[in-house]
Amino acid sequence: MHRFQRASPLFCTLFCAAIAAACSSSAALPDPTDANLIDTTTVWALNGTAITDPSGFSIPDRVAVRTDQTSAFDFAFNIDNTGKPVFLPIDLLGLGSVSGVNPGLLLTSIPFDSIRTAVTGDSYVFNDTVNVVVGSSYYARSRVVCSTLAMPMYGKIEILSVDPAERSVTFRYLVDNNCGYLGLEPGLPRN
């Protein structure tokens, strides 16, 4: 019994290192089942538009949502008092994340079609406005955490147009809904 107690901390250290290595490798992930697709949507400003127009976007659901009917969205769109179009992450709206991961957006200079892999880490803007600029691309991180690996879902967005008269923004997006995968190209992800 004494020998087992001395080996136990070493065994735990080696076992935990092996698990961490396996989780960081796409080879350890189950086969992806959800194909990544590029789609387009339009959302309208939170104020100055009809309540029936969706103002929020749910990254894992890949859909524009009405913010008066649900809080299950990751960011909303608005045009501020100066006329500037902005995205508002849910933490900024006081809704926060129930999963412990704050959804956010990260502006990138990489063109939408050239973004192949999600960025992880703390660089996402989740508690401030995100300027919306036509032609800009953003990495997107969801509020929903994949329960088996404790990871958010990731995607990418490109702003196609802003209509100040309609108070709307149209963007294309791609979301990888496969647990643990970071691939942001169309089709089944490889990583």
Any idea where the domains of the chain sit in the sequence?
A: 1-30, 32-176
Tell me the per-residue pLDDT of 121-136, one tens digit each, with 9 for 90 and over: 889 999 999 999 999 9
| Higher pLDDT among residues 12 and 137, named by residue | 137
Structure confidence by residue, pLDDT tens digits, 11-22: 333 333 333 344
Gap between the Cα atoms of 91 and 95, Å rounded? 5
Task: Give pLDDT tens digits for 46-98.
Answer: 999 999 999 999 999 999 999 999 999 999 999 999 999 999 999 998 887 66
User: What does the buried/exposed string (b/e) look like for 143-174 if buried means 16 or more CB atoms within 10 Å of the residue's CB?
Assistant: bbbbeeeebbbbbbbbbeebeeeebbbebbbb
Q: Rounded to whole angstroms, how far apart are CA atoms 136 and 127? A: 20
Q: What is the reported pTM?
A: 0.82
Can you tell me the distance from the alpha carbon of 150 to that of 73, in angstroms, rounded to the nearest whole number? 19
Q: How confident is the model at residue 107 (pLDDT cuts 50, 70, 90)?
A: very high
* pLDDT tier for residue 181 given thresholds of 50, 70 and 90: very high
Q: Are 39 and 173 in contact (CB under 8 A)?
A: yes
Residue 181: name the closest of 137, 118, 104, 124 by CA. Answer: 118
Q: What number is the average pLDDT over the span 94-115?
A: 87
The pLDDT score that the predictor gives to residue 100 is 67
